[in-house]
Structure 1
C-alpha cells in the first residue's frame, strides 16, 4: 500500500433536519397582487439597507448593534418583520463569508499547482496523480504571469477576510451581469427590470412556537386561508382587523399536507415564504419547518442484509446489489438522467432517477452505498490543464444536490445511506471486477465495476481480489483455493488440518482407497490393508462449504 493515500472509514449518512413544501397561490385578484408587490418592495428596501449596515460593521458586529438595527426596522414595519429581516441578513452575510473562504482555498490550490509545474523542466512528464511540466516555453511564460495574478487576488481576498468585508448582491450576481448584456440573455430591459425587482422582494416570516397556526406574520389556517400582517406604512390596505390582509385564494399542500396540518393544529413553529415566478407569472407559497434528527442505524445493521453500490456519473447512476459477503447478486442496473436544459428540468430528471433507485433498493430491503464526492478542488484548470472536456464533465455533475436529495428521499422510505471514501474505486473496480463479472450475455462496464467496488468498501470488504497461487504452490495439490487467510489469523503459516473422507468429489461415500467399511475381500492381500489400525473408518463424504468470490 505504499504511495496510496489513507482511505477513510465508511459511515452512515445522518438524515435531514428540515422539511420544505411548496404550493401555488391560485385565484389571486388584482388587489391581492398589488398588496403583495407593495409589501415585498417595502420590506425588500428595508432588507437592502439592513444588509448594507451589517456588511459595514464587519467583524466588529455585536448584539448591541443587532438590537439597534432591529429597533430601526421595527418603526418602519413591525417587530416580527424586523426580526425576520435581520435574521435573513445574518444568514446571507454568513453564507458570503463561507463562499469567500472557499474562494481563498481555490486560489491557494491554484497557486500551489502552478508553482509546482513551473519548477519542473519544460516538457517533462508527470507522475501518478500529479501533472508534469508545461509543454512549451510560451505556456510556461503565460502561466508565470497567471501565477502573479493569482497571488495578487489571494492577497486582496485575504486582506478583505481579515477586515470582515464581503461582497453580496441582493437579487443575484448573475442577474446583475445580465443587465450589461441583455442580447445574450435574450431579455429586454423591461423584462430584466421585472425579474430584478421580483428577486429583491422580501416576503418571508420565521415561525413562532405557541402562536396561532405557528406564525403571526404570515398565517395559513387549516382550511387554507392565507393572511399577512401588513407593515405599518401599508396598514391602510388591510381588509381585516389588527392590520391583517387576507388573500382571496385558498391554498392546499398536496405533499406532506397531513404533517403540516398536525403542526399548525398544535401551534408549532412553521416558516413561510411568498415569491413570484416571473417566467410563469405565478405566485408560490413555500412552507418549512425543522424536524428532529433521525436516529442513525448502526453501520453493522446496515450491512447485515447486503446493500446496493451506486456509482454516480455525468448522465446516469450505475448500481449493483451485493450480498452480505460482498458478492454481486443479479444484474447491474442503470438509472439515466439528462442534465441539459433549464434548472427545473435538470432537477426533475435527477429526482426521477433517484426515486427509481430507491424503489429498487426498497424492494430488496437493502441499504445504499454512495461515494462521499467533493469536486471543489478538482475543477481548476491549473490541475487539469487543457483537459477542457474533463473539467466540464466534473463541473456538470450535481454532486451536492444529488447527495442532499438522496438522503432526504431515502429517509422518507426508511432506507439507510452509507457514504464511503471515493479513493481508487473506479480504478480498482475496473482492474479487479470488470473482467470476472463479464459473461457472454453481459457486458460489464467500468461504471458497473465501480459500483461493486463502492459496495464492497461499504461492507468492509477489500476491493482488490487476491489471485490464486500457481498450482504447484497450493497446499491442496492443484485444488481450488482462492481464499487466503489474513495476516492477523493465527496459524496461517501452518499446514492445513486433514479433512476425513475422499480427496475428490467424484468419489462417493463408502468408496475409494480408504473406505473403512468395505469389509474383507474374499481373497488377496490388499484387503487387509484397508483394516489396518492406522487407517480411520470414514462413513461421511467430504463437503466443502461455498465460498465468496473474494475475501
Structure 2
C-alpha cells in the first residue's frame, strides 16, 4: 500500500545480562543505623564533590583525570570506595548525557510539528502524513509564541551539549522541587529532609573476583553476616579487626539464594548496595552480579509450536494463542492490572499480570510475541494537542519497565520473547480479525484482534486472513489463496491428492477393492464426513 511506512522484521529479544536480589536488614540496633548513616553521609559528600568535578571537566575528561579524581578520594575513604564512587559518577554523567540528547530530539520534534501546523491555513484538516492547521486565530497566536519558546530552549540545549554541560541532581530533581511545595506534597520540612539525606547517601560497593566472598568493601558471608570496611575518618567506629564494622542483622536471599551462595563461595564478584526506606523505616541490602548471555533461540525455532500474542493496554494485557499456521486457538485471554497509586504498586501489578501470562505460555511450551513499543516521541503536547486524556494514557504506560520485567521473567522460565514492529497492528487486526472471530456468545474486542495481528506478524504471516483472489473466475486455478498454511500442510485449501485407506477412514490400501457382498449404492456413495472436516474453519473462511 502506498504511503505506509516500512515494517521492521520481528526478532528474538536477547536475555538479561545481570541479576539483582534484595533482602531486608532486620533487627538492626540503633548503633548500627547510626554507623550506616554516618558512613553513607560521608561517602555521599565525597560522591557529590566528585560529580561536580566530573561535570566541570565536561568533554575534556580523560583517563588521567579519572585517575586523579580517584587519587583525591582515596585519602578520605579507601581505594575501593574511591573506585566505586568514580565509577558511579561516570555512569551518572553518561546517563545525563543520553537524557540530554533525548531532550533535544523531543524539542526538535516539537518545533517541527508546531512550525508545520502554523504554516497550514486555519481549520485545515490533518492528512495522512501531515498535521492540520489550528482551529482559531487565537490558538494560532498562542502556538506561535510557543514555537519561539521551544526554539530558545532548543538553542540552549544544543549549546550545552556542544560544550559538554549536563545538569545532574544527586537525590533527584523531583525531590528537590518538592522542597518548594511541601504543603502540596503533605510533607513537613523534617520529613522532606530525611528523604533528601537518604537519597544522597552512598553505600554502594563494586565486587571483585578473586577476593574473599567476591567483595572486600561490603562483605556478606554465606551465613548472612554483613560487614563494612569503614572509611579512614570513621575507622574509630570499628567493632571488628582491620577497620571493619559488623552489623547485627543477618540476610537470607529467598530469591536466587542458592545462586548467590554458590557465587560468593567461589569468590566471584558480587556488588552490594545498602539503602534506607524512610517511609517504611527499613534498611535493605541489594546484591547484583552479571550473568553470561543466554544462547539466543533462532526465530524459526521459536515459531515451531506457535505463539501467544500480547497487546499492551492501559489496564490489561490482551492475549491470544496462535498455532504455527497463524490460526487463533481457543478463546482470547485477558490479564488485568491497575496502574494507579505509587510506583511500587504499579510495578507489583505489572509483575503479577506477567507471571500469570508467562505461566500460561510455559504450560503450553509457547513463545511470547510482544510489540516493540516506545512512546518517547508520542507524548509531546505538540503532537496530540488538546488530547490530554490520550497523552496521560500513554504517559502512564510503563513501556520500559514492562520490557525489562518481561525479558527477565521470561528468561527465568525459559520462554522465548519475540518483538515485532507495532505499526498498524491495532488497525489491521480490527479490520481483518475482529468480525471473523466474534460469535453470538463472545464479543471480540479491538485489543483481542490486535493480539492476533501481533502473533501473526511474529510468525511471519501477513495480518490479512487471505491473499488477493485469482484474477480469473475467482477460483483456485492459479494457486493457493489462503495465507495460513504452508505448502504441503494438511488442510490446505487446494485440490487434495487422493490418498486411499487410512486418510479417509475406509479400508486399507492392501485390501481388495471388490467386496464379496455389494452394499447399497446410496450408502456406498455417501462421502465420509471425517474427510471434509478441516482442522480449523479459519483455513477456508
Give 1:470 shift. Answer: 10
Aligned to 1:99: 99
Larger Rg: 1
SS of 1:331 mapped into structure 2: strand
2:316 matches 1:320 = no
- In the alignment, is residue 424 of structure 1 matched against residue 424 of structure 2? yes
Match of 1:77 in 2: 77
Separation (CA, whole Å) in 2 of partners of 1:73 and 1:544: 81
CA distance in 2, matches of 1:82, 1:50: 10
Distance of 1:143 and 1:224 partners within structure 2: 61
Partner of 1:295: 295
Deviation of 1:471 (Å): 12
Partner of 2:349: 349
Q: Which residue of 2 aligns with 1:246?
A: 246
2:462·2:483 contact (CA, 8 Å) conserved in 1? no
Q: Deviations over 1:41-89 (max 9, x none)?
A: 0000000000000000000001111111101000000000000000000
Q: Which residue pairs with 2:225 in the alignment? A: 225
1:191 has 2:213 as partner: no
Q: Aligned with 2:330: secondary structure?
A: strand
Pick closer, same or farther for the CA change 1:498–1:313 going to 2, 3 Å: closer
Distance 1:5 1:166 in 2: 35
1:482 touches 1:550 (CA, 8 Å); kept in 2? no
SS at match of 1:473: coil
1:462-473 alignment runs, 5 A limit: 462-466=462-466, 473=473
Deviations 1:376-431 (A, max 9, x none): 00001111110111111100111111111000000010000000000000000000
Offset at residue 129 of structure 1 (A):
4.9
Is the Cα contact below 8 Å between 2:76 and 2:233 reproduced in 1? yes
TM-score, normalised to structure 1, is 0.88
- In 2, the alpha carbon distance for the partners of 1:9 and 1:468 equals 22
Partner of residue 212, structure 1: 212
| SS of equivalent residue, structure 2 residue 301 | helix
8 A Cα contact 2:239 2:245, kept in partner:
yes
- Residue of structure 2 in register with 1:493 after alignment: none
Gaps of 5+ in 2: 488-493, 500-505, 508-512, 516-524
Report the alpha carbon displacement of residue 30 of structure 1 after superposing the two structures with TM: 1.1
Structure 2 counterparts to residues 20-419 of structure 1, below 5 A:
20-419=20-419
Between the two proteins, the alignment pairs up a number of residues equal to: 514
Alpha-carbon distance in structure 1 between the residues aligned to 2:495 and 2:330: 35
Q: Is the 8 A contact 1:466 1:550 kept in 2?
A: no
What is the RMSD computed on CA atoms of the aligned residues?
Answer: 2.9
How high is the TM-score relative to the length of structure 2? 0.90
Alpha-carbon offset, residue 466 of structure 1: 3.0
> Which deviations, in whole Å up to 9, do the C-alpha atoms of 1:466-514 show, x marking residues without a partner?
378599923369xxx983589xx9xxxxxx989779xxxxxx99xxxxx
- Contact kept, 8 Å, 1:430 with 1:449, in 2: the verdict is yes
Which string of whole-angstrom CA distances, capped at 9 and with x for unpartnered residues, describes residues 152-185 of structure 1? 1001000000000000000000000010010001
TM superposition shift of 1:372: 0.2
Q: Does the CA contact (< 8 Å) of 1:466 and 1:482 recur in 2?
A: no
Moved over 6 A (4+): 496-501
1:448 aligns with 2:453: no
Distance 1:497 1:392, change over 3 A: closer
Distance 1:89 1:485 in 2: 54
Structure 1: runs of 5+ lacking an equivalent: 490-495, 502-507, 510-515, 519-537
